[in-house]
Amino acid sequence: MRSTAIAPSQVAGAPWGRLPAPGRRQKIARVVIMASQGDGAAAWIEQNMDVGKVTGTKFAGGSSWSSAYIYSTSSGRQLFVKTAMGRDPEAMFRGEAEGLKAMHATHTIRVPEVFHYGALPSPPGGGALRGSGSFIVMEYLNLRGRCDQTELGRQLARMHLAEPQHEHAAQFGFFCDNTIGGTPQPNPWTDDWVEFFREHRLRHQLRLAGNSRLNQLAEPLLKPGALETFFQGITVRPSVLHGDLWSGNIAAVEGQPAIFDPATYFGHHEAEWGMSWCAGFGGAFWAAYHELVPREQGFEARADLYELYHKLNHFNLFGSGYLGDCERLLSRLVKKLK
Catalytic residues: 244
Residue 233: CB atoms within 10 A of its CB come to 7
Q: Are 123 and 34 in contact (CB under 8 A)?
A: yes
Q: At what angle do helices 323-337 and 212-222 cross, to 10 degrees?
A: 30
Phi then psi for residue 57, to 5 deg, are -130, 140
Distance CA 308, CA 311 (A): 5
Q: What pairing do the DSSP bridges indicate for beta strands 265-267 and 114-119?
A: unpaired
Distances (CA, A) of 146 to 88, 107, 149, 205, 254: 34, 21, 8, 32, 11
Q: What pairing do the DSSP bridges indicate for beta strands 114-119 and 183-185?
A: unpaired
Determine whether 256 is exposed, middle or buried from the number of CB atoms within 10 Å of its CB (0-12, 13-18, 19+).
Answer: middle
| C-alpha of 60 from chain center | 19
| C-alpha of 206 from chain center | 20
